[in-house]
């Protein structure tokens, strides 16, 4: 029975929601309107419905979206409160006057919210569209698709035609599918289906963080792992640019309903109904995962094929099993390796494998403009290139895909698939008939004199890099740095292996490499989506080459080859500052003397950039992840991709393209695009406060006052409790006056107005002096 307390809560609840107007619209809510459990929104065409439901035998309640037609078994398409179920039927969906959709419990707690950040107008509506998309939009909607929020951006376990399936590379929004935990629990389960944007984008099925199957990349007609051409009723679209990568499908025949659904057992199924039948057709997209569909079943450099539902693996020509004793008991996971190393001065050619699922493209290189002949020549020129194929197979084929190093997760279909050209020694070209029953192999191309000459040249570079680098130095009159060959860097990084990856910034990944003479290097491979052209890249190289200081990372060389733009730095064994200061265990290694040394070292490096170098340089992206630590934990400023130079009499500049990292950006730069030396000073101040506290500015929130780290530090300062900001790990062994001086310097650097912030020469004097410091004014970005 309901006790008095529960009755009182319900009375309060119903009195609260009685203040709102109930909806009179079938498909939408205006501001202050709501629906209770038992009421629904229905799209204008009658296909979709939003309301409350309980999955199967569960008594928990969820806000969901489903097909309204009973013939589709009320298939749930989207769930708002996946992780926070309601435990009774008193839930209410309200469209608040702020423009937020909110799901409230009987105690008026917010269970789920759309968290709209865009500006809503007083005439905004929340509407369920005929596409199955629940949206919040301003009325009238002046621009099609200009929604303030939409459920299509936050898919659950189901893809509905019209959704974007992929990633927004600018915001980081990942529109992936994740299965339910069970048929009775819509919380996020083990399995997911997502677009991997590395290399040439492809669709992966994951179990946690482990790849279990690969649907593959898009070749213009189908995914290479599922070579089934679509019906004429289906319109498909693949978009890849600097801002986003996604797949989009549209059903042209309105009498047909089709969705892609991931289930708790890990299978992904395409489910299709027609208006003429109540039954549905289900086709498994990942059902082959226990045979050739299982990711890298055959290891590397091997092809999987199916016969009578049994998988078998065969090494590609020119390769042999790494561990024959395992191979012959059908343990293929170790894969194959070359019989003989493929030296660059070997006579080489290509074998054509037909009806193939292309290898994993996460480390591939691609061009949309090259033809297949140009692709072949480029692969011949590069010693590390192992295979090539068309990017798009429509209209006879176009574009170029290149692979470097091992070829992983290949499969040969009985029909379908596409052609793949694998590089082999000439000795393998004349004997391609041994496996014709399993592989349709033919000679694609012999060796051209041009290819041979190029291979010899590349070998010369690998065998005698010092002589070649000296020759490059003489050729590069404008850039006084060695120019490295791409193949040399590919070899040094084990073909840019993920095992060698040190991290990834906004402009691309960084890999650890080891040169032939044993020298360790850091190789920054600029993303093709960075938007930086060859001339801009050369300007950056010239800029960094002219900067030499103990607190700046040293640039050793660069590479421009095709679309590849790479920087080679000295290797920093202790990675970046954020790796230490925000790590629960590693932060203990940074005692106060080390942190103070880092604070001082960064200041010296910035002073050099701002005043003492031959150029006046503004970094524009100073943050803890761009401060590298050498073997003795000395700081070195890195990543000059956004840096700008000033003339001696220039004070500030403007940009329409604000780029950097929120949390470290000064207010005048973030809001108005104005940057100056004082912009770097602001970023430095944030780093100082993070070093003192061990807290991230962007992630910290004071639970009592809802302040960020800057606001929290300011509150403690004004309350005369500055030492409470100090990291607990530093309580013993610190010098309190030195800590307080650093906090004060940090607050002076993050003041709202640029003219109030000190320059870096003053900062160094403040850190090392004993004179009283100015009192800081209120900082920017308190919340």
Q: Which two tokens stand for residue 274?
A: 């027609």
Distance (Å, whole) CA 513 – CA 500: 7
- Residue 182 parent element (H or E): strand 177-182
Query: How far is Cα of residue 454 from the mean position of the Cα atoms in its chain?
Result: 36
Query: How far is Cα of residue 338 from the mean position of the Cα atoms in its chain?
Result: 33
Distance (Å, whole) CA 301 – CA 337: 7
Contact of 363 with 564, CB cutoff 8 Å: no
Task: Name the β-bridge partners of 238.
Answer: 247
Is 621 one of the annotated active-site residues of the chain? yes
Question: How far is CA 326 from each of CA 238, 333, 335, 339, 410, rounded to the nearest angstrom?
Answer: 41, 9, 10, 17, 19
Contacts of 59 (CB under 8 A, 6+ apart): 87
Strand arrangement of the beta sheet that strand 101-104 belongs to: 21-22, 33-36, 92-95, 101-104, 110-113
Distance (Å, whole) CA 165 – CA 179: 15
Contact of 243 with 250, CB cutoff 8 Å: no
For residue 461, the SS3 value is: helix
Distance (Å, whole) CA 745 – CA 709: 15
Q: Which two tokens stand for residue 235?
A: 């319109």
The closest alpha carbon to 256, from 241, 280, 274, belongs to: 274
Strand 441-445 versus strand 348-357 pairing type: antiparallel
Task: Name the β-bridge partners of 128.
Answer: 134
Contact of 88 with 96, CB cutoff 8 Å: no
Instruction: Name the active-site residue from 485, 621, 680, 727.
Output: 621
Distance (Å, whole) CA 490 – CA 485: 9
Distance (Å, whole) CA 226 – CA 258: 17
Q: Based on C-alpha coordinates, what's the Rg of the chain?
A: 30
Distance (Å, whole) CA 485 – CA 296: 30
Distance (Å, whole) CA 471 – CA 734: 52
Supply the residues annotated as catalytic.
621
């Amino acid at each position: 029975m309901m006790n008095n307390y529960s009755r009182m809560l319900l009375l309060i609840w119903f009195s609260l929601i009685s203040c709102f107007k109930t909806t009179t619209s079938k498909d939408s809510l205006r501001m202050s309107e709501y629906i209770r459990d038992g009421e629904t929104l229905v799209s204008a065409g009658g296909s979709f419905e939003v309301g409350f439901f309980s999955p199967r035998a569960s008594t928990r309640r969820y806000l969901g979206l489903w097909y309204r037609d009973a013939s589709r078994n009320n298939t749930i398409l989207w769930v708002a409160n996946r992780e926070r179920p309601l435990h009774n039927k008193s839930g209410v969906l309200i469209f608040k006057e702020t423009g937020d959709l909110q799901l409230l419990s009987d105690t008026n707690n917010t269970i789920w919210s759309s968290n709209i950040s865009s500006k809503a107008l007083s005439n905004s509506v929340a509407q369920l569209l005929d596409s199955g998309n629940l949206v919040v939009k301003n009325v009238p909607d002046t621009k099609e698709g200009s929604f303030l929020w939409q459920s299509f951006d936050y898919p659950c376990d189901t893809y509905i035609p019209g959704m974007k399936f992929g990633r927004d590379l600018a915001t980081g929004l990942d529109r992936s599918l994740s299965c339910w935990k069970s048929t009775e629990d819509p919380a996020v389960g083990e399995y997911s289906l997502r677009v991997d944007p590395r290399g040439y984008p492809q669709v992966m099925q994951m179990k946690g963080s482990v790849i279990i199957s690969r649907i593959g990349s898009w070749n213009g007609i189908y995914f290479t792992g599922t070579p089934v051409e679509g019906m004429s009723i289906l319109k498909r679209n693949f978009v890849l640019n600097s801002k986003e990568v996604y797949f989009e499908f549209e059903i042209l025949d309105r009498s047909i309903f089709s969705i892609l659904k991931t289930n708790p057992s890990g299978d992904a199924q395409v489910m299709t109904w027609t208006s003429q039948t109540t039954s549905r057709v289900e086709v498994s997209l990942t059902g082959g995962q226990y045979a050739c569909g299982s990711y890298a079943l055959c290891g590397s450099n091997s092809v999987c094929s199916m016969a009578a539902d049994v998988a078998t693996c065969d090494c590609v020509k020119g390769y042999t099993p790494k561990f024959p004793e395992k191979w012959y008991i059908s343990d293929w996971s170790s894969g194959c390796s070359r019989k003989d190393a493929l030296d660059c001065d070997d006579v080489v050619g290509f074998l054509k494998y037909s009806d193939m699922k292309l290898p994993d493209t996460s480390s591939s290189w691609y061009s949309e403009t090259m033809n297949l002949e140009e692709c072949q020549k480029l692969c011949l020129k590069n010693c590390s290139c192992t295979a090539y194929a068309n990017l798009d197979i429509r209209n006879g084929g176009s574009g170029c895909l290149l692979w470097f190093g091992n070829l992983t997760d290949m499969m040969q279909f009985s029909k379908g698939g596409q052609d793949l050209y694998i590089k082999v020694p000439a000795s393998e070209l004349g004997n391609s008939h041994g496996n014709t029953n399993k592989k349709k192999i033919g000679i694609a191309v012999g060796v051209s004199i041009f290819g041979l000459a190029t291979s010899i040249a590349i070998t010369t570079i690998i065998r005698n890099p010092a002589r070649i680098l000296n020759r490059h130095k003489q050729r590069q009159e404008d850039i006084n740095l060695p120019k490295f060959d791409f193949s040399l860097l590919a070899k040094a990084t084990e073909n840019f292996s993920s095992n060698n990856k040190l991290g990834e910034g906004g402009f691309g990944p960084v890999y650890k490499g080891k040169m032939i003479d044993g020298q360790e290097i850091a190789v920054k491979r600029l993303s093709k989506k960075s938007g930086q052209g060859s001339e801009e890249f050369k300007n950056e190289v010239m800029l960094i080459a002219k900067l030499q200081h103990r607190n700046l990372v040293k640039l050793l060389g660069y590479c421009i080859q095709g679309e590849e733009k790479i920087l080679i730095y000295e290797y920093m064994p202790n990675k970046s500052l954020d790796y230490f200061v925000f790590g629960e265990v590693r932060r203990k290694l940074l005692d106060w003397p080390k942190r103070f040394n880092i604070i001082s070292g960064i200041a010296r490096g910035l002073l050099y950039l701002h005043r003492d170098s031959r150029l006046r340089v503004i970094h524009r992206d100073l943050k803890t992840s761009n401060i590298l630590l050498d073997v003795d934990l000395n700081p070195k400023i890195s990543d000059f991709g956004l840096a700008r130079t000033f003339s001696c009499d220039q004070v500030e500049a403007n940009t329409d393209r604000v780029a950097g990292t929120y949390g470290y950006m000064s207010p005048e730069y973030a809001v108005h695009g104005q940057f100056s030396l004082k912009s770097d000073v602001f970023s430095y101040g944030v780093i100082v406060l993070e070093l003192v506290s061990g807290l991230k500015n962007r992630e910290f929130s004071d639970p009592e006052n809802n302040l960020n780290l800057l606001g929290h530090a300011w509150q403690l300062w004004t309350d005369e409790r500055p030492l409470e900001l100090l990291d607990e790990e530093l309580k013993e062994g610190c010098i309190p006056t030195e800590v307080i001086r650093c906090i004060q310097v940090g607050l002076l650097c993050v003041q709202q107005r640029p003219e109030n912030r000190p320059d870096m020469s003053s900062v160094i004097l403040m850190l090392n002096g004993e004179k009283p410091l100015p009192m800081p004014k209120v900082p920017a970005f308190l919340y």
